[in-house]
Amino acid sequence: MSFKTWFVGRDSSSDVVLNDASVSRNHCEITVSGGECVVVDNRSSSGSFVAVDGKWQRITNRVVPIETVVKLGNVETTIAKLIRGE
């Protein structure tokens, strides 16, 4: 089974760069295999969250579907959009 990992943060060396002050330089890692993802928060200052039943749940390491809505700092999007660069 193949997988790919994206590093997400404000740092210009990140695979996905989010230019928002609420996002840490090395905010999180997203590893995708098939339709599932593992989101690992890299001890970011403002946290990584997933939407569950309309409420935000802070995560440190969680397996979620690729269309899951996430909140990284103040940035809200889906994992699919993040890794597509949208």
Fold of 4-84: Tumour Suppressor Smad4 (2.60.200)
Residue extents of the structural domains in the chain: 4-84
Contact 44, 73 (CB under 8 A): yes
pLDDT tens for 21-77 read 999 999 999 999 987 899 999 999 999 999 999 899 999 999 999 999 999 999 999
Decide if 64 contacts 42 (C-beta within 8 A): no
Q: Taking Cα atoms as reference points, which of 76, 77, 86, 80 lies closest to residue 30?
A: 80
pLDDT at 1: 61
